[in-house]
Amino acid sequence: MPVGSEQRTETERGISAAKGEAKVALKRPLKLCIIGLKCYDHIAGSPALRYLGGIETHLALLAKGLQREGCEVSLITYDHGQPDGEVFEGVKVLKAYSPTGGIPRLRWFWRVARLWRAMKKADADIYLQSGAGDETGMAAAGCRFKFLPRRRFVYGLAHDMDCHRPIGAERYSAQTLAYRYGIKRADLVISQTKTQQKNLQTSMGFSSVVIQWEAKETEGSCGGAACANQVLWVGRIVPEKRPHWVLEIAKRCPEITFHIAGSANSATEYAAKVLADAKTIPNVKMHGSLARPQLNDLFRSCSLLCCTSESEGFPVTFSEVWSCGMPVVTTFDPDGIVAQHGLGRAVNSIDELVSQIQSLPKSDAYAAMSSATRKFYLENQTVEVVARRFHNAFKDLLAA
């Protein structure tokens, strides 16, 4: 036998064994851990939500959907004093750290240690985190340094701003550096839209796959043309979503009642002013943050969803209202699908919003739009459809 041939044979045997182990691993249920620190109330079905946002809704639904797909799913959340290891619809909930805990100057290191401890307890094949922030870098570093062999890290974009190098106000903030470290080391990046995919490649040089977010189906149908004088707005009370536009529109449409469902995740001067101004407008009803049953009641009693945002990711509220046949009138149109599929009207100004809100529910086009929204939801955005797409992406990642 030539010199070195025995060594090559042993190496080839090792490679074959490794391939065999990979094939065996793929035959068992995929073990997935989702890092959604603000998701506890959403996964537990709490009537009052501490954190209102599309990311939290998406990750909680995705966790349950992937569990039904046959995955073994765990979810890491903040420590709110709940028992560790609770199970909701088959999803094990592990707690990382308290959002207010730790010694101020050492808090970041304390949080990293607590998050890595929870990740180790999950012992997953793949760790998924969504939304730009410190935890992106924490999770990526945990996958790289806490496990031997290291585990796969998947990052999901949650907003169009996630596609750009700096996040927040400071270009070189610690949060930005942690985020850039994390996304650079992701084994897979998932975008919500083709626009995000293109912008991420252009701005940061990273490729991604596109999977739209899902929404839980609303029971019943929207109010339809019979509720032409009832319009809904849902979101956080923050400047980029421009709820102050709704107040201006309400003043110009006194015959229409505007229902605003949402709150600010933190107290700000802007939110306080919006809430104070709303009290002075008789056809504006402020509902605050609502549990899903109460939000469903609003879906069934309104004709349109009004969106006034400057930018978004892919709004979960769009999918929620489309599931019950409600068109949207919006200043934000992800990938142009509202206009392309006839799911409502995409506009650019307050004047256009006023015009469409006043005329669309009474028009001949309304019924066709309502049917189109329901069809689009069933084909693209049910929990089952989206969970299957994520599951296939994860299996492809492990197979590669």
CB 227 within 8 A of CB 206: no
CB 243 within 8 A of CB 308: yes
Picking from 332, 340, 329, the residue whose alpha carbon sits closest to that of residue 372 is 340
DSSP structural state of residue 282:
T
Residue 16 lies in a domain: no
CB 196 within 8 A of CB 368: no
Residue 2 lies in a domain: no
Signed CA dihedral, 123, 124, 126, 127: sign only: negative
- Is the domain of 374 the same as that of 388? no
Cα distances from 240 to residues 26, 32, 213, 289, in angstroms, run 43, 33, 21, 18
- Is the domain of 144 the same as that of 285? no
Structural domain containing residue 207: 28-214+383-399
Residue 369: how many other CB atoms lie within 10 Å: 23
The contacts of residue 17 (CB under 8 Å, 6+ apart) are none
Residue 286 lies in a domain: yes
Residue 23 lies in a domain: no
Distance separating alpha carbons of residues 256 and 210, to the nearest angstrom: 38
Tell me which residue has tokens 């974009």: 157
Residue 38 lies in a domain: yes
Q: Residue 40: helix, strand or coil by DSSP?
A: helix
Residue 342 lies in a domain: yes
At residue 262, what are phi and psi to the nearest 5 degrees? 150, 170
What per-residue confidence (pLDDT) applies to 396?
95
At residue 51, what are phi and psi to the nearest 5 degrees? -130, 125
What per-residue confidence (pLDDT) applies to 171?
59
Residue 242 lies in a domain: yes
- Is the domain of 389 the same as that of 361? no
pLDDT in tens, 107-159: 889 999 999 999 999 999 999 999 998 999 999 999 999 887 889 999 999 98
On the question of pLDDT at 166 being above 70, the answer is no
- Is the domain of 184 the same as that of 277? no
Mean pLDDT of 351-368: 96
| CA angle in degrees (0–180, nearest 5) for 156-383-371 | 115
pLDDT in tens, 307-333: 999 988 889 999 999 999 999 999 999
Q: Give this prediction's pTM.
A: 0.86
Number of domains in the chain: 2
CB 33 within 8 A of CB 143: no
Distance separating alpha carbons of residues 39 and 51, to the nearest angstrom: 8
Q: Out of 75-84, 283-292, 326-335, 363-372, which region has the weakest mean confidence (pLDDT)?
A: 283-292
Picking from 249, 264, 272, 281, the residue whose alpha carbon sits closest to that of residue 352 is 249
pLDDT in tens, 249-270: 999 999 999 999 988 877 899 9
**Token digits for 189?**
């990046």
CB 124 within 8 A of CB 31: yes
CB 310 within 8 A of CB 240: yes
Mean pLDDT of 276-290: 94
Residue 141 belongs to a domain with what CATH number?
A: 3.40.50.2000
**Predicted confidence band of residue 7 (pLDDT cuts 50, 70, 90):** very low
- Is the domain of 195 the same as that of 282? no
Mean pLDDT of 284-304: 91
Picking from 87, 90, 75, the residue whose alpha carbon sits closest to that of residue 121 is 75
**Token digits for 211?**
């999977």
- Is the domain of 48 the same as that of 151? yes
Mean pLDDT of 65-69: 97
Average pLDDT value for the chain? 90
Mean pLDDT of 379-387: 96
What per-residue confidence (pLDDT) applies to 245?
98
- Is the domain of 289 the same as that of 321? yes
Could you give the percent of the chain with pLDDT greater than 90? 74
Name the more confident of 104 and 84.
84
Query: Pairing between strand 86-88 and 91-95?
Result: antiparallel
On the question of pLDDT at 189 being above 60, the answer is yes
The full 3-state SS of 283-299, as one line of letters, equals CEEEEECCCHHHHHHHH
Mean pLDDT of 221-242: 94
Distance separating alpha carbons of residues 37 and 39, to the nearest angstrom: 6
What per-residue confidence (pLDDT) applies to 3?
41
**Token digits for 63?**
């966790």
pLDDT in tens, 17-65: 444 444 444 578 999 999 999 999 999 988 878 887 889 999 999 999 9
Residue 80 lies in a domain: yes
CB 366 within 8 A of CB 345: no
